Amino acid sequence: MMSRNTRTTLLAAAVLVGVLGCKATSPSANADGTPTAGKSLQLGTLAFKPCTLSSPFSREALEAQCTTLQVPEDRANPQGRKIGLNIALLTPEKEGEVQPDPVFFLAGGPGQAAVATYPQVDAAFREVRKHRNVVLVDQRGTGESNLLSCPAYDGDDMSATAMQAAAASCATQLSQKADLRFYTTTEAVADLDAVRQAMGVAQINLVGVSYGTRVAQQYAMRHPQATRSIVLDSVVPNSLQLGNIFARNLDDALALQFAQCTNAAACKDKLGDPRAELDALLAKLRAQPVTVRYRDSATGQSREDVLRAESVAGLVRMYAYMPAAAALLPKLIHEANAGRYEELMALAQMMQDDMKDAMAMGMQLSVVCSEDADSFAAASASSDAGTVLGEQMAQGLGAMCAAWPKGSAPADFHKPLAGNVPALVLEGEFDPVTPPRYGEEVVKTLAKGRLFVLRGQGHNVIGAGCMPKLFGQFIDTADAKALDGACLDKLNYVPPFTSFNGWEP
């Protein structure tokens, strides 16, 4: 992860994030380090002990059961280094009503840990958890499964040469604790099946968000008999390589989101054309970054920092994931164009600090460099120069991958998932990274697949509106075709803010 002094952090380090992560207390104990009270649980060969999962975004902690499963880092060398997979299990409140097929939650990124991110989406699993166990496995290289976290880079030079050197330094350090070639999606899929077998269950349901949908599709391809159903929230098609999805998808999503302002007379009159204003602001900051004094949201203290175009582009991208937050962008951009940069600077800095520990960048590079490296070169040679993100992101990731040890992927890795696996596919209308057309592509080859596009929503939509109810029904029946999605029609667009007090009455 690049340091907070480097304004391209949000571009380079958070570019692949699906669900914005959060920190959790240790899953093996209470926050004060003492063991959690409760009854231990044995499933198959796995002995679980009571633990608590917590999140700074949730008032209540989740009572769970936790354990560790040792797996070979390199399965071709089973006597070599082992990885302790961190596993958490959430059980139904009523004993004796547990269905035999648990639900595995797969986090996004790549680089997020399932155990740490799950508390934010637990509400969406309310119906599912009544009758099924929910299993969280920190993918190797994330969380407490041999975390591969890069040291901070403190330089201001964000050229491809500097980024490559930083990646090489990180790889050298992490190679003392890991063979970076073996932290790919394919290895993670083998880990998941090892957990399934250790639990002694015949079939599982997979719920993937963003990058987690790649893991789910790959698992269903490699272990079709063990896959009862899959839920793909904000799906990345198997056929897609990640290098070519950033700049154009963001611009398309911004066009839809900014239209909420340009199509509303009150907003357009007060704030103008948000895209034109954004282009003007980016051009101004590229030509001359500005020094801004602002109030730090964490400490309340006055700070001074330099606002650069990369900071703004990164903030725009992350806000575009959440249309409710993106509704504020036209106002922020308009204020900055008028020379009032304080609010934009404070929010960019806050987002940058929040992203600092959200992603295991070492694991992320092991995944994308092994599975998608060729697409970064193709993307950086494309016509992304006129977009908000431009070509720097693809060029930077391509340079980092040039220095990163690479694993292998099966020859059919990018073949579309096909067959009869029941699949519920979800997309947000305004998603800036996995647009609805990706879901359309995926369901074409899934005879029992169904796509829902949620009006006005962004990335990670399983908790929106009545989707949790439909999700629960799907897990119960494994029949997406039978779902009545009429309740989703109640979802509404978020009006753009014309002032910091909100939208027009």
Bridge partner residues of 452 (DSSP)? 426
The pLDDT of residue 153 is 60
> Which pLDDT band, with edges at 50, 70 and 90, does 374 fall under?
confident
- What's the confidence (pLDDT) of residue 2? 28
Verdict on whether the full-model pTM lies above 0.85 = yes
Q: Per the domain annotation, does 200 fall within a domain?
A: yes
- Is residue 259 in some structural domain? no
* Mean pLDDT calculated for residue range 426-443: 97
In a domain? residue 376: yes
Strands (E), 263-418: 290-295, 302-307
| Higher pLDDT, residue 24 or 174 | 174
Identify the pLDDT of residue 503: 76
Q: What is the pLDDT of residues 229-271, one digit of tens each?
A: 999 999 999 999 877 678 899 999 999 999 999 999 999 999 9
pLDDT of residue 57: 59
Are 75 and 219 found together in one domain? yes
In a domain, 43, yes or no: yes
Domain count of the fold of the chain: 2
Q: Is residue 475 part of a domain?
A: no
- Asked if the model's pLDDT at residue 466 lies above 90, the reply is yes
Average pLDDT in the 138-164 region? Answer: 85
Structural domain of residue 389, as residue ranges? Answer: 363-402
- State the chain's mean pLDDT as an integer: 88
- Domain presence at residue 433: no
Residue 113 lies in a domain: yes
Mean per-residue pLDDT, 65-91: 97
Beta bridge partners of 454: 428
Rounded distance between C-alpha atoms, residue 470 and residue 467, angstroms: 5
Separation of alpha carbons 211 and 329, rounded Å: 26
Q: Where does a domain end: 344, 372, 402?
A: 402
**Any idea what the CATH number is for the domain that residue 94 is in?**
3.40.50.1820
Lowest mean pLDDT among 161-175, 363-377, 378-392, 407-421: 378-392
**What 3-state class would DSSP assign to 450?**
strand
63, exposed or middle or buried, with CB in 10 Å at 0-12, 13-18, 19+?
A: middle
Domain boundary among 198, 233, 268: 233
Instruction: Examine residue 176 and state whether it is found in any structural domain, yes or no.
Output: no
Looking at residue 261, its pLDDT comes to 95
State the pLDDT at residue 11.
Answer: 37
The dihedral built from the CA positions of residue 300, 13, 416 and 205, taken in this order, carries a sign that is negative
Question: Domain boundary residue among 204, 233, 262?
Answer: 233
Percentage of the chain lying above the pLDDT 90 cut: 74
